[in-house]
Amino acid sequence: MGLEMISLKSPREIEAMRKAGRITAQARALAGSMVAPGVTTHEIDQAVRRFIESHGAKPSFLGYGGFPGSACISVNEEVIHGIPGPRKLKEGDIVSIDVGAYIGGFHGDCAATYPCGKVSDEAMKLIRVTQQSFWEGMKYARQGCRVSDIGHAVQEYVESNGFSVVRDFVGHGVGAKLHEAPEVRNFGPAGHGPRLLPGMTIAVEPMVNAGGWQVKVLADKWTTVSLDGSLTAHYENSILITDGDPEILTVTEDGAYV
């Protein structure tokens, strides 16, 4: 995608995105706090919807492309786009929750994976490596770097820990539209794609499998699972490129990122 297609946000637009991001991050934190044995994914989804709407915002995902939930809730081998429903969480599950909120003409978008009760050592390592891979990518989310520098750093870190990066789904620009240019891959060589400029807002979202990187979409046309049935984790924040360190837009009022 060419640079001319990438939206550079004005100070007013950035402030609007901070507001959307804060509501989104708080909805993620609420959802994460509900992850416990016996809780249904529908209950978490309804709580997310109520919270977002109580702040005057709309759930970005509800009805997006026909998606029926306010949050994507994906369990164990489910990578992304899990549809909330009657499924009860069990001890040992890992639960990826992806949320978005739209207010003032702009979207926030973030995700995290949470342990349900006590989980295996491998599952906990997967969660931590996925989250840390985001921060490895953030080292290159700076003016003058290229978009692919972020994904290259993510891939190197993930693979050095024995896991794999999903290739079929990627991060993206975020702003007035939930998905904007540029595409932000979590893999590939450095030094490619548009140069990062102050005012760009992007959603960086490593999706990491404990086994192979291949995935498949189930018959519901949404739920995406690891092809080999291995555990998978997801971590995402919306970020602003500045003339210095990147700014995380999806952060709660008390500074939390999960």
pLDDT surpassing 70 at residue 247: yes
pLDDT in tens, 173-207: 999 999 999 999 999 999 999 999 999 999 999 99
How large a percentage of the chain has pLDDT more than 70?
98
Looking at residue 5, its pLDDT comes to 86
A 10 A CB-CB count for 110 gives: 29
In terms of Cβ atoms closer than 10 Å to its own Cβ (0-12, 13-18, 19+), residue 228 is: middle
Output DSSP code: residue 253.
T
Reading the block at residue 66, the tokens are 């026909």
pLDDT in tens, 108-142: 999 999 999 999 999 999 999 999 999 999 999 99
Residue 206 · residue 235 · CB < 8 Å: yes
Average pLDDT score, the chain: 97
Query: 2, 93, 20, 103: which is closest to 56 by C-alpha?
Result: 103
Looking at residue 7, its pLDDT comes to 94
Reading the block at residue 26, the tokens are 């708080």
pLDDT surpassing 70 at residue 4: no
Q: Apex CA 203: angle with CA 214 and CA 232, to 5°?
A: 30
Looking at residue 258, its pLDDT comes to 86
**β-pairing verdict for 78-80 and 224-226:** antiparallel
Distance CA(125)–CA(55), nearest Å, equals 35
Looking at residue 256, its pLDDT comes to 87
Distance CA(17)–CA(38), nearest Å, equals 35
Looking at residue 257, its pLDDT comes to 86
Chain centroid, CA 40 distance in Å: 21
pLDDT surpassing 80 at residue 16: yes
- Structural domains of the chain, with CATH: 9-248 (3.90.230.10)
In terms of Cβ atoms closer than 10 Å to its own Cβ (0-12, 13-18, 19+), residue 101 is: buried
pLDDT surpassing 80 at residue 245: yes
Tell me the pLDDT band of 75, cut-offs 50, 70 and 90. Answer: very high
pLDDT surpassing 70 at residue 2: no
Looking at residue 3, its pLDDT comes to 44
Query: 223, 226, 218, 234: which is closest to 82 by C-alpha?
Result: 223
The predicted model gives 63-72 an average pLDDT of: 98
Query: 138, 117, 103: which is closest to 238 by C-alpha?
Result: 138
